[in-house]
Amino acid sequence: MATATLFRLRGPTAAPRRQASAASRFSAFHRCTQSLDNIGNLGGPVRLPPRTRFQLKEARNPTVREWVESKQRAVMNSESAVPSVDAPTFSPSASRVNLLERDENHTVFTYGRLFVMMWHVDTMLGAVNFVSRHITEFACDLTPRRIGLLTVVEEHVSMPSAEARAGLAVLMQMKAPYLIRSAVAYEGSGFKAAAIRAVSTGIALLSNHSFPHRIFSGVGAATAWLGEGMTTALGTRHPGAQLARAVEDVRVTRRGMMSIAV
């Protein structure tokens, strides 16, 4: 029975496979990202769902991308319709760092409307999924739901695994409605820095992001560019130097805590 069925499918009279609609492809891609979010709750070593990479490839299809962007525009339009009378006014001097998670591999924190993930050694998929969940929670507590995203890649970071790269690409794709701008600040020099930059560029291309995204060789340039975009989008000043100092303060605090632990 199985052999006959296979023969009919491959025979000249077999009907052509029906192409999945943009809606069904987007739905499958969305289910994939939900699975990625759930991976962070599992214990022990985990792997991406078998169809993850295929669905990421499908998301690059122009028709599917148009569908995704239409959904993102709908979210942004619905949020812009919310009255801004009660919207909080961002004041850099009055803001404080809110540390969400810290370990030997990464540090995640927020400052004003800036969400920061710092990678120190290994880029773990579980940490990527943690960041993905908290970006949504962070943005949804704000009006409007618009934030800046900064990724700091320190000098001694290892190359991320294929699974972590796929998770970061999904993060950029699905969090696009919330992001005003996204910047990657890589540190160090030489071949390794060039390789990290190439990996960051590949992740951005895979995600087909619909927001401004740039890669910088340092935190200062990255926060200056982010602050400029956030100021324009939100109508309140977000000085890049103030954002950079917040990053450095967290870095100094982490080093102090790590030295005490040792």
CATH number at residue 223: 3.30.750.24
Cβ atoms of residues 92 and 112 within 8 Å: yes
Distances (CA, A) of 99 to 117, 171, 226, 251: 10, 20, 20, 11
Secondary structure class of 72 (helix, strand, coil) = helix
Whole-number pLDDT of residue 254: 84
Asked whether residue 28 falls in the same domain as residue 145, the answer is no
Q: Quick check: is 10 in a domain?
A: no
Range of the domain at 228: 96-261
* Amino acid residing at 79: E
Whole-number pLDDT of residue 136: 94
Asked whether residue 74 falls in the same domain as residue 101, the answer is no
CA separation for the pair 20, 3 (Å, rounded): 26
Q: Quick check: is 176 in a domain?
A: yes
Asked whether residue 175 falls in the same domain as residue 247, the answer is yes
Average pLDDT over residues 217-232: 95
b/e code 36-53 from CB counts within 10 Å (16+ = b): bbebbeeeeeeebeeebb
Count: domains in the chain? 2
Q: Quick check: is 238 in a domain?
A: yes
Q: Quick check: is 58 in a domain?
A: yes
Asked whether residue 200 falls in the same domain as residue 230, the answer is yes
Asked whether residue 137 falls in the same domain as residue 246, the answer is yes
179 forms beta bridges with 147
Asked whether residue 109 falls in the same domain as residue 233, the answer is yes
Asked whether residue 59 falls in the same domain as residue 157, the answer is no
Asked whether residue 130 falls in the same domain as residue 252, the answer is yes
Residue 81 or 54, more confident? 54
CA 129 distance to own-chain centroid: 9
Q: Quick check: is 147 in a domain?
A: yes
Asked whether residue 76 falls in the same domain as residue 109, the answer is no
Asked whether residue 105 falls in the same domain as residue 215, the answer is yes
Asked whether residue 112 falls in the same domain as residue 242, the answer is yes
Average pLDDT, the chain: 74
Q: Quick check: is 115 in a domain?
A: yes
Whole-number pLDDT of residue 96: 85
Q: Quick check: is 114 in a domain?
A: yes
> Could you tell me which of 184, 187, 174 has the C-alpha nearest to residue 212?
184
Q: Binning pLDDT at 50, 70 and 90, where does residue 209 land?
A: confident
Scanning the chain, the segments in alpha helix (DSSP H) are 2-10, 22-39, 52-58, 62-80, 125-140, 162-174, 190-207, 219-234, 240-261
Cβ atoms of residues 202 and 159 within 8 Å: no
Asked whether residue 101 falls in the same domain as residue 76, the answer is no
- φ, ψ (nearest 5 deg) of residue 164: -65, -40
- Among 37-51, 153-167, 171-185, the range scoring the smallest mean pLDDT is 37-51
Q: Quick check: is 74 in a domain?
A: yes
Structure tokens at 113: 């409307």
Residue 45 sits at the vertex; the CA angle it makes with 39 and 46, to the nearest 5 degrees, is: 35
Which pTM was predicted?
0.65
| pLDDT over 60 at 98, yes or no | yes
